Chain A
Amino acid sequence: MGKRVLLIEDEPNIIEAISFILSRDGWSVATHSNGHDAVGVVLANPPELLILDVMLPGKSGFEILRELRDAEATRDMPVLMLTARGQTKDREMAERAGASRFMTKPFSNADVIDVVRELVAT
């Protein structure tokens, strides 16, 4: 079993796509699809890498990330943020919230793999 990646995303097809490409690359993928209890889920079992959507039902990705950065266990956890709102201000907000990397949807599968490998290696 490969290293564990947690994907928090609410769009079923995108969950399916990312799960597929990461599994194929040898990662173990866990998923979660809403914002309400996302922080609890992450803290209960911190993954090697978190992939976090911005627009989630219940709580936004930015908020979730801020809370995670405040917690001891996840302060330095690599986090890749995904958003479908391709504005510069979203990128800035992501950086301020503490994202390690930021990608705009749609993305190329190869890029996702590259970034995930890079973030876990460092």
Chain B
Amino acid sequence: MATLNVLVAVCLIYVTFLFVVAFAAERAAMQGKGGWLRSPMVYTLSLSIYCTAWTFYGAVGYAARSGLEYVTIYIGPTLVMVGWWWILRKLVRIGRAQRVTSIADLISSRYGKSNMLAVGVTILAVIGTTPYIALQLQSVTLSFTVFSGAQPGGSSPVDRDSTALLVAMGLTLFTIVFGTRNLDVNERHHGVVIAIAVEAIVKLFALLAVGVFVVWGVGGGIAATLERIDTSEIGMWHVQGDRWATLIFLSAAAFLCLPRMFQVMVVENDDEGHLRTASWAFPAYLMLMSLFVVPIAVLGLDLLPAGSNPDLFVLTLPLATGNDGLAMLSFLGGFSSATSMVIVAALALSTMVSNHIVMPIWLSLTGGGANISGDVRNVVILARRVSIGGVVLLGYLYFRLSGGGAALAAIGLVSFAGVAQFLPVLLGGIFWRGATRMGAFAGLTVGFMVWAYSLLLPSFGTGALISQSIMENGIFHIGWLRPQAFFGIEGMDPLVHAVLWSMSLNSLVFFVVSLIGFPSPLERLQGAQFVNVYEHSSNPQSWSGGAAQSEDLMIMAQRILGAREAQKLFEREAQRQGVTGYLPEPSPDFLQVLERELSGSVGAATAHAMIGQIVGGASVSVRDLMAVADETAQMMEYSSKLEAKSDEQARTARQLRQANEKLTQISVQKDAFLSQVSHELRTPMTSIRAFSEILRDSDRLSAEEKVKYSSIIHGEAIRLTRLLDDLLDLSVLENGQVNLNIQTGNLEDLLEHSVVTALTGSDETAITIRRNRALESAWLTTDLDRLSQVFINLISNAQKYCDAETPVLSIQVNQADGVVMVDFVDNGTGISKDEQAIIFEKFARVGVQKAGGAGLGLAICREILARLGGSVSYLPGQGGAAFRVIVPVRIPQDEV
């Protein structure tokens, strides 16, 4: 005889067992031995959270009331798994490529990372899920009551509310322990998943055991049971086509959109390949779950006293026939269904609530931008825990307030219809690039309003939240707005009516607003990445390794994780690889581990890009950079909103602006220089080409002309060569690559040599040179060749540009303080004040144009003297053009 105490003990043992299993799984995963945890079968079993207590107990009740209609709830997911697996595959691929943490994250991320959309989806998901959690609490309490009622002499009547509260608290604890142990953006929870898989086996086994018992133990074998079914009412229920189609659609949509399904299917998925197995194994699981539903319902109706609750036949049939052990197993099955649903739903919703509602609020309250990562991690975990508690508490409150009435039983479908509103936005987001944020927001809003008005509010019963008059006359007495007869179409099943209108208006508005609107660049980028996910990311997380230096990785990891954490991670990985010391080989495996670790602190995209930078430039794609830029932009947005402009920021901004100005300036100078070079090269080439064509094409040229034109060609060719020489010389000098040839020599000799070189071989007009040799005796230790180059240049310039009738250049030497000053002054008109400022710039030719000058001579002189530790400058007010060269007698040491 089962006593309540035994039941409680069994429950506790079972829960402890789940804790142990979950702990073991977490531990195995931590040590990297968790391969078996991620088998396709575990994945398939984890999907079974689709079968909640509503299906475990409720399917039989449903069959007893409405015949075969319960099958639709299984057909929907089966169709998705078999026929729409490619949608699932795309969702999973996107989830992994974009490191999606929830359905709210996926939708907001797709539509330009809009937090407004994320908040909306989160709130709607909470509204849609809360009644469902209440339903699970109710089923557990009810089953307790059944046991206590079956107990003879029932000494301790079960307090319904406190049972529900205890269950809620236990579930919260479990979810917090295994759902928030570590913070990891990939949001994978090995412990939770393995516990769910175990529960999936328990509930399937329990239902099958009850079924086998009912058919063979009570019903008298297959043939006898079939006979009973034929004679029962169930066989006579007619199929209502529109309702069936609606239910199949609803369950299929819910299978894709329920936050808890999204959690196990996409977020917890470890390998796309698992979907292949799940595509046949999960339908098989559903088939087994539904196999004995009808026999149990029929026999329950036959054998149990009239008025028994058909929702509890699974439990009451074994109890009534004295099979307490089986009843206990059945109870555990129902318990498993309820708990696994609540755990995953709480996990999924808490991720959404904390990421999209709590964290943004916390950040805005504390101005959190500047905090170090360690702080943020604690806050995130705390937010998760509080959210989990909050979500379960909401479910409990709903249970208390609704009083566990009959309305609760129907709430499963209402809830399905609610989350189904995500479907257009979800599918549109991954298959249609034109879908926009405004479209998504408008579609969701309209869909949910219609759903709430036509299904949710009436579900509480007429007169509860929606008045009788509205139900009969429509809101504001507008007849075509009656909640269950839009546009005056009456006589439809309320569920069919609500689903039809909410889904079609939702899709229509989503589509039309998307077409009208214009997506932002970020939306377009995200849209492209979601819709074309297969092109973008064949294997988004794989690193080629090799080029990475473990030391560099270590330094980066320390900066982000903190020294101790980083060291622990590296040592652990080194040990795993079997390497001595604390630096592991930068293998692709290790890089993935590191990236996951880092992304918990700095965000996925940033971590990816950081590792990419160290591993090798090729791994960082434009896409990654965009993602980083976006993360940065979001941070900037936060910080600019929340923080007063600090000095630091202002200084950085100023430096950036200056750097930018400098770059712009350099760029302009570079363009101008290239344009100049082009001009200087093309001008002599023009003459050369023109005259060589003249020589080639004209046969009537005089010998004199031929000589003249050939000479021009010759002269221009020399000019070209000199220009190139000057350019190269200048470039070498400017880059500081020049090797100085230090010698000691006499200034007088050097000037003599320069004058002779400058004047010989020149066809310019003769110029008289005046010198005072007495002052020129000085010994110089410097690069004499380069200094001579400067002198020659200045003398040639005087010769070319001095416009006096009898040109004279006087060279005067002064000595003082270890330097010599050499002035070159001619008797021409000199250089105007404006032009003095630019003559030392490249290509700064002034005055009358004369063939031969490239405009680089003085720039070269300036560079040479800078290398020799001296200077050259223009001396104003000397009558003609006057240049002063100052050069140290001995070249300073640091110039050598």
Q: Please report A residues at the B interface, Cβ cutoff 8 Å.
A: 10-14, 16-18, 20-21, 24, 33, 55, 57, 83-87, 104-110
How far, in angstroms, from A56 to B165 measured CA to CA in the complex? Answer: 94
Name 5 A/B residue pairs within 8 A (Cβ), A-sorted.
Answer: A12-B851, A13-B716, A17-B686, A20-B694, A87-B675
- A55–B679 CB distance below 8 A: yes
A112 — nearest CB in chain B belongs to which residue? Answer: B690
- B689–A106 CB distance below 8 A: yes
A15 — nearest CB in chain B belongs to which residue? Answer: B687
Q: Please name all residues of chain A whose beta carbon is closer than 8 Å to the beta carbon of B688 when the two chains form the complex.
A: 106
- B683–A84 CB distance below 8 A: yes
Q: Counting chain B CB atoms within 10 Å of each CB, which of A18, A83, A85 scores highest?
A: A85
- B683–A21 CB distance below 8 A: no
B27 on the A face (CB < 8 A): no
B719 — nearest CB in chain A belongs to which residue? Answer: A13
How far, in angstroms, from A109 to B693 measured CA to CA in the complex? Answer: 7
- B685–A106 CB distance below 8 A: yes
A26 → B minimal CB distance (Å) = 14
- Contact pattern, B 144-183, Cβ under 8 Å of A = 1, otherwise 0: 0000000000000000000000000000000000000000
How far, in angstroms, from A24 to B697 measured CA to CA in the complex? Answer: 11
Q: Please name all residues of chain A whose beta carbon is closer than 8 Å to the beta carbon of B687 when the two chains form the complex.
A: 11, 13-14, 17
Interface size on B, residues (CB 8 A): 23
- A108–B689 CB distance below 8 A: yes
The listed residue (A17, A33, A87) touching B690 by CB distance below 8 A is A17
Q: Please report B residues at the A interface, Cβ cutoff 8 Å.
A: 675, 678-680, 682-683, 685-691, 693-694, 697-698, 712, 715-716, 848-849, 851
Q: Please name all residues of chain A whose beta carbon is closer than 8 Å to the beta carbon of B716 when the two chains form the complex.
A: 13
The listed residue (A17, A83, A105, A107) touching B691 by CB distance below 8 A is A17
Q: Please name all residues of chain A whose beta carbon is closer than 8 Å to the beta carbon of B715 when the two chains form the complex.
A: 13
The listed residue (B675, B680, B690) touching A109 by CB distance below 8 A is B690
B724 → A minimal CB distance (Å) = 16
Q: Please name all residues of chain A whose beta carbon is closer than 8 Å to the beta carbon of B683 when the two chains form the complex.
A: 11, 14, 84, 105
A108 → B minimal CB distance (Å) = 7
- A84–B686 CB distance below 8 A: yes
Q: Please name all residues of chain A whose beta carbon is closer than 8 Å to the beta carbon of B678 when the two chains form the complex.
A: 84-87
Given A21-B694, A105-B682, 9 extra CB contacts under 8 A: A13-B691, A17-B686, A17-B687, A20-B694, A86-B678, A105-B683, A106-B685, A106-B689, A107-B689
A20 — nearest CB in chain B belongs to which residue? Answer: B694
B671 — nearest CB in chain A belongs to which residue? Answer: A87
Q: Please name all residues of chain A whose beta carbon is closer than 8 Å to the beta carbon of B848 when the two chains form the complex.
A: 57
B772 → A minimal CB distance (Å) = 36
- B693–A105 CB distance below 8 A: no
A104 — nearest CB in chain B belongs to which residue? Answer: B682
Q: Please name all residues of chain A whose beta carbon is closer than 8 Å to the beta carbon of B686 when the two chains form the complex.
A: 11, 14, 17, 84, 105-107
- A84–B682 CB distance below 8 A: yes
Q: Please name all residues of chain A whose beta carbon is closer than 8 Å to the beta carbon of B675 when the two chains form the complex.
A: 85, 87
B contacts with A: majority SS: helix
- B849–A17 CB distance below 8 A: no
A10 — nearest CB in chain B belongs to which residue? Answer: B849
Q: Please name all residues of chain A whose beta carbon is closer than 8 Å to the beta carbon of B691 when the two chains form the complex.
A: 13, 17
B848 — nearest CB in chain A belongs to which residue? Answer: A57
A84 — nearest CB in chain B belongs to which residue? Answer: B682
Q: Please name all residues of chain B whose beta carbon is closer than 8 Å to the beta carbon of A57 when the two chains form the complex.
A: 848-849
B8 → A minimal CB distance (Å) = 87
B680 — nearest CB in chain A belongs to which residue? Answer: A84
B592 → A minimal CB distance (Å) = 48
Q: Please name all residues of chain A whose beta carbon is closer than 8 Å to the beta carbon of B685 when the two chains form the complex.
A: 105-106
Q: Please name all residues of chain B whose beta carbon is closer than 8 Å to the beta carbon of A18 when the two chains form the complex.
A: 690
How far, in angstroms, from A86 to B683 measured CA to CA in the complex? Answer: 11
How far, in angstroms, from A33 to B850 measured CA to CA in the complex? Answer: 12
Q: Please name all residues of chain B whose beta carbon is closer than 8 Å to the beta carbon of A13 when the two chains form the complex.
A: 687, 691, 712, 715-716, 851
Q: Please name all residues of chain A whose beta carbon is closer than 8 Å to the beta carbon of B690 when the two chains form the complex.
A: 14, 17-18, 21, 106-107, 109
How far, in angstroms, from A10 to B847 measured CA to CA in the complex? Answer: 12
- A109–B849 CB distance below 8 A: no
Q: Counting chain B CB atoms within 10 Å of each CB, which of A11, A21, A105 scores highest?
A: A105
A24 — nearest CB in chain B belongs to which residue? Answer: B698
- B679–A85 CB distance below 8 A: yes
A113 → B minimal CB distance (Å) = 11
- B679–A17 CB distance below 8 A: no
B580 → A minimal CB distance (Å) = 62
How far, in angstroms, from A106 to B679 measured CA to CA in the complex? Answer: 10
Q: Please name all residues of chain A whose beta carbon is closer than 8 Å to the beta carbon of B679 when the two chains form the complex.
A: 55, 83-85
- B682–A109 CB distance below 8 A: no
Q: Please name all residues of chain A whose beta carbon is closer than 8 Å to the beta carbon of B682 when the two chains form the complex.
A: 84-86, 104-106
How far, in angstroms, from A24 to B687 measured CA to CA in the complex? Answer: 17
B687 — nearest CB in chain A belongs to which residue? Answer: A13
Q: Counting chain B CB atoms within 10 Å of each CB, which of A12, A13, A110 scores highest?
A: A13
B849 — nearest CB in chain A belongs to which residue? Answer: A10
Q: Please name all residues of chain B whose beta carbon is closer than 8 Å to the beta carbon of A106 when the two chains form the complex.
A: 682, 685-686, 688-690
With A11-B687, A84-B682, A87-B678 known to touch, is A109 a contact of B851 (CB < 8 Å)? Answer: no
B207 → A minimal CB distance (Å) = 78
A57 → B minimal CB distance (Å) = 6
How far, in angstroms, from A107 to B690 measured CA to CA in the complex? Answer: 7
B677 — nearest CB in chain A belongs to which residue? Answer: A85
With A87-B675, A106-B682, A106-B688 known to touch, is A11 a contact of B694 (CB < 8 Å)? Answer: no
B689 — nearest CB in chain A belongs to which residue? Answer: A106
- B851–A11 CB distance below 8 A: yes
A23 → B minimal CB distance (Å) = 11
The listed residue (B698, B712, B849) touching A16 by CB distance below 8 A is B712
A12 — nearest CB in chain B belongs to which residue? Answer: B851
- B694–A17 CB distance below 8 A: yes
B713 → A minimal CB distance (Å) = 9
Q: Please name all residues of chain B whose beta carbon is closer than 8 Å to the beta carbon of A20 when the two chains form the complex.
A: 694
How far, in angstroms, from A29 to B391 measured CA to CA in the complex? Answer: 95
How far, in angstroms, from A106 to B680 measured CA to CA in the complex? Answer: 11
B716 — nearest CB in chain A belongs to which residue? Answer: A13
B696 — nearest CB in chain A belongs to which residue? Answer: A109
Q: Please name all residues of chain B whose beta carbon is closer than 8 Å to the beta carbon of A104 when the two chains form the complex.
A: 682
B850 — nearest CB in chain A belongs to which residue? Answer: A12
A121 → B minimal CB distance (Å) = 22
How far, in angstroms, from A52 to B715 measured CA to CA in the complex? Answer: 24
B679 — nearest CB in chain A belongs to which residue? Answer: A84
Q: Please name all residues of chain B whose beta carbon is closer than 8 Å to the beta carbon of A107 when the two chains form the complex.
A: 686, 689-690
B675 → A minimal CB distance (Å) = 5
How far, in angstroms, from A7 to B712 measured CA to CA in the complex? Answer: 20
Q: Please name all residues of chain B whose beta carbon is closer than 8 Å to the beta carbon of A83 when the two chains form the complex.
A: 679
B708 — nearest CB in chain A belongs to which residue? Answer: A16
How far, in angstroms, from A21 to B690 measured CA to CA in the complex? Answer: 9
B698 — nearest CB in chain A belongs to which residue? Answer: A24
- B712–A109 CB distance below 8 A: no
A82 — nearest CB in chain B belongs to which residue? Answer: B686
How far, in angstroms, from A114 to B675 measured CA to CA in the complex? Answer: 28
B681 — nearest CB in chain A belongs to which residue? Answer: A84
How far, in angstroms, from A11 to B719 measured CA to CA in the complex? Answer: 13
B693 → A minimal CB distance (Å) = 5
B683 → A minimal CB distance (Å) = 5
Q: Please name all residues of chain B whose beta carbon is closer than 8 Å to the beta carbon of A105 when the two chains form the complex.
A: 682-683, 685-686
A74 → B minimal CB distance (Å) = 25
Nearest 9 pairs of A and B residues by beta carbon: A17-B690, A84-B682, A13-B687, A105-B686, A106-B686, A106-B689, A84-B679, A109-B693, A106-B685
- B698–A108 CB distance below 8 A: no
A39 → B minimal CB distance (Å) = 19
Q: Please name all residues of chain B whose beta carbon is closer than 8 Å to the beta carbon of A33 when the two chains form the complex.
A: 849
A111 → B minimal CB distance (Å) = 10
B675 — nearest CB in chain A belongs to which residue? Answer: A85
Q: Please name all residues of chain A whose beta carbon is closer than 8 Å to the beta carbon of B712 when the two chains form the complex.
A: 13, 16
How far, in angstroms, from A105 to B683 measured CA to CA in the complex? Answer: 7
Q: Counting chain A CB atoms within 10 Å of each CB, which of B683, B688, B698 scores highest?
A: B683
Q: Please name all residues of chain B whose beta carbon is closer than 8 Å to the beta carbon of A110 when the two chains form the complex.
A: 693
Q: Please name all residues of chain A whose beta carbon is closer than 8 Å to the beta carbon of B680 when the two chains form the complex.
A: 84
Q: Please name all residues of chain B whose beta carbon is closer than 8 Å to the beta carbon of A16 when the two chains form the complex.
A: 712
How far, in angstroms, from A86 to B849 measured CA to CA in the complex? Answer: 21
A83 — nearest CB in chain B belongs to which residue? Answer: B679
Q: Please name all residues of chain B whose beta carbon is closer than 8 Å to the beta carbon of A87 when the two chains form the complex.
A: 675, 678
